[in-house]
């Protein structure tokens, strides 16, 4: 008996001792019950949703396309830079189309529509993202430069790009935000959660963020779906731009997509541990101190600390 045959016999023996067959049957029964309860009885013959691992590979490839000599392969040289960018981008777009098509097909089925146009739509979205990459690169350059200027410990823009989790998070966010606005929120959310797991920074892909954005240290930062952030804004670790309350409809279900997160205007600095909740406006050039809890508007140029945050009066509320 050869080694492969012995391996199969050992595997069969282990399956019997572990009760694998009965566990497989019970898991199939649980899947079927869940699918039936949620109306998922259609036989699809393949994967229904975008794959997290595939999107991780695509995002890594796009990071290399955006910054080939920093985030590309270690053996890359400038003489082959354009070839690498073109080849890698083509492969990444082909792979992205497949993941986009899965989401678009799923969305069409949920609405009782035909998914016959999902491939055409997926190609159009991927092409739009590719066309937007040069502009995204220029915005990301401003983000990297802001991090370099904003951190006295940064020795170069290259160090910032290679080492800072806030930059990794914003690269992923700018890619995810484009896809979110293009109508594929599930793919966008998966990309955002990949960045979240790698950096500890949780940015919803729906958040609107201006250029020159810098998250210093970053761990524990949370930015909600409807947050609007202006240009040259700086956040420190554990800052939350969250919702104060969640409105419900007549049936008691949460209303989706309503503006419920802060608006942060240009040139605002928010220090570590600050929590800003609700659709409030933080005026241009304001500084929010560490561990401040805010649920009210802040006038432009204000300096809010724990000592004075409770004394913000109604006269400081901004007109909206």
Q: Which residues of 116-147 are buried (b: 16+ CB within 10 A; e: fewer)?
A: eebeebbbebbeebbeebeebeebbbbbbebb
Q: What is the pLDDT of residue 237?
A: 97
Query: Could you tell me the pLDDT band of residue 175, with boundaries at 50, 70 and 90?
Result: very high
Q: pLDDT averaged over the chain?
A: 91
Closest CA to 169 of 125, 122, 130, 217: 217
Where exactly are the structural domains of the chain? 48-201, 220-320
Query: What pLDDT, on the 0 to 100 scale, is given for residue 186?
Result: 97
The per-residue pLDDT for 318 is 41
- Global pTM value: 0.87
Fold classification of 220-320 is UDP N-Acetylglucosamine Acyltransferase; domain 1 (2.160.10)
Which of 69-83, 137-151, 306-320 comes out lowest in average pLDDT?
306-320
Which of the four pLDDT bands, split at 50, 70 and 90, describes residue 105? very high
pLDDT tens digits for 206-259?
Answer: 999 999 999 999 999 999 999 999 999 999 999 999 999 777 777 777 777 789
Distance CA 61, CA 99 (A): 15
pLDDT at residue 99 above 60?
Answer: yes
The residue behind tokens 């040289």 is: 77
> Could you tell me which CATH number the domain at 48-201 has?
1.10.3130.10
C-alpha–C-alpha distance, residues 207 and 243, integer Å: 13
208, burial (CB in 10 Å: exposed 0-12, middle 13-18, buried 19+): middle
Domain 48-201 and domain 220-320 have a common topology: no
In which band, very low, low, confident or very high, does the pLDDT at 282 lie, cut at 50, 70 and 90? very high
Task: Tell me what pLDDT residue 320 has.
Answer: 36
């Amino acid at each position: 008996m050869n080694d492969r045959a012995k391996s199969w016999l050992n595997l069969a023996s282990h399956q019997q001792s572990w009760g694998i067959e009965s566990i497989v049957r019970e898991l199939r029964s649980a899947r079927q019950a869940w699918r039936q309860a949620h109306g998922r009885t259609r036989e699809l013959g393949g994967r229904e949703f975008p794959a997290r691992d595939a999107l991780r590979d695509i995002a890594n490839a796009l990071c290399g396309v955006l910054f080939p000599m920093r985030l590309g392969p270690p053996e890359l040289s400038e003489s082959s830079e354009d070839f690498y960018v073109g080849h890698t981008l083509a492969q990444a777009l082909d792979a992205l189309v497949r993941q986009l098509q899965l989401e678009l097909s799923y969305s069409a089925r949920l609405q009782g529509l035909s998914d016959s146009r999902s491939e055409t739509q997926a190609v159009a979205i991927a092409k739009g993202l590719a066309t937007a990459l040069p502009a995204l690169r220029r915005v990301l350059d401003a983000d990297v430069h802001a991090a370099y200027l904003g951190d006295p410990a940064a020795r170069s823009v290259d160090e910032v790009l290679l080492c800072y989790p806030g930059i990794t998070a914003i690269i992923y966010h700018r890619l995810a935000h484009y896809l979110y606005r293009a109508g594929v929120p599930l793919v966008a959310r998966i990309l955002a959660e990949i960045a979240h797991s790698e950096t500890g920074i949780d940015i919803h892909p729906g958040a609107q963020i201006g250029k020159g954005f810098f998250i210093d240290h970053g761990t524990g930062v949370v930015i909600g779906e409807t947050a609007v952030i202006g240009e040259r804004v700086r956040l420190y670790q554990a800052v939350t731009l969250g919702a104060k309350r969640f409105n419900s409809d007549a049936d008691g279900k949460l209303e989706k997509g309503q503006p419920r997160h802060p608006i942060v205007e240009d040139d605002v600095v928010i220090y570590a541990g600050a929590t800003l909740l609700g659709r409030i406006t933080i005026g241009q050039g304001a500084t929010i101190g560490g561990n401040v809890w805010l649920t009210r508007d802040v006038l432009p140029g204000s300096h809010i600390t724990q000592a004075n945050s409770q004394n913000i009066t109604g006269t400081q509320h901004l007109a909206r």
